[in-house]
Amino acid sequence: MKQRLFAFFIVFVLVFSLTTSVFAQSYSLELTQETVHVYWNTDGTMSLEYSLLFKNNPDALAIEFVDVVLPDNNYIISEVSAEIDGHALSVEEKYQGKGPGVAVDLGEYPILAGESGLVQISIGLIENVLNPDADANYVSAIFNTTWYGSQYITGDTDLTVIFHLPSGIPAKEIRTHAPSDDWSGNSEPESAIDEAGRLTYTWHDEKANGFTQYAFGVSFPNSYVPASAIVEPASAKVTAFSLSPIIYIPVLVFFVIIGSAWLIQRRTSTNPDES
């Protein structure tokens, strides 16, 4: 009996020490600033440039991976690049969320507890992003931002989304969509002309958050893009977020230890008690 009690005591101590030491830390961070340039190209494709400023909270786990939701799986991974504070990073298709997306591996440059880091991601080409509009002569261009689990994100996000429209479209032919209901910034975007002479529309809210997927859109005459680029919309809102798979390790360790305890109990029950 003493052997059995001692075995269970050891298992209890191991489970308690391992789980408490790991779960004492978790992901907790601020997405303090986010800027997204959305380029709607004349060939009907999209290009994206994300700029994400993260601030890791004190005593939190290091940020080792950053996932980015993409509008569609029709992208070329070789045309996706990323960097943090000027250091080049690798980009993987081992995305932890559901739906299309990529994972940025921070590698040698993780964002440690109490530190900040500017992650920039460029997606050169995404296809199948234009949808039919209610007006048969128009095409609908809708973009949804990336987002992260609310259990990880604290504070506000200064969010700016900038649409760069295909060249040659007059402003009078553009119809803007109302942003998603959870958007509290400007409902009517500010218009301007970028360095390439393209018309731009900008939405901004300094009190947005990083755990909401915001939607923005415009419609323009379909004569400005190839008919083959206009497709029926994908149906699902995707789930995004991954920083590191380490959060699942304690669960695995727990079940391994429980299994070991069961084996020890079986062995001791087949031997005479030494007490």
Lowest-pLDDT choice from 10-24, 68-82, 145-159, 257-271:
10-24
Task: Determine the Cα–Cα distance for residues 28 and 247; give it in Å rounded to an integer.
Answer: 12
| Confidence tier at 99 by pLDDT (50, 70, 90) | confident
pLDDT for 113: 96
Residue 237 pLDDT class (50, 70, 90 cuts): very low
C-alpha pair distances (Å), 72 with each of 18, 93, 210: 40, 13, 20
Beta-strand relationship, 199-208 and 80-84: unpaired
Averaged pLDDT for residues 225-238: 77
What pLDDT does 19 receive?
Answer: 40
Q: Give the mean pLDDT of 101-114.
A: 96
Pick left, alpha or beta for residue 44 (phi over 0 → left; psi -120 to 50 → alpha; otherwise beta). Answer: left
Whether this prediction's pTM lies above 0.75 is answered by yes
CB burial class (10 A; 0-12, 13-18, 19+) of residue 14? Answer: middle
- Strand, coil or helix: what is 38? strand
Residues in the chain: 275
Q: Which residues contact 266 (CB under 8 A, 6 or more apart)?
A: none
Place of tokens 């018309």: 199
Helix (H) or strand (E) holding 101: strand 101-105
* CATH number at 29-243: 2.60.40.1730
Give me the pLDDT at residue 12, please.
41
pLDDT digits (tens, 9 = 90+) for 199-231: 999 999 999 999 999 999 999 999 999 999 999
In the chain, pLDDT over 90 holds for what percent of residues?
69
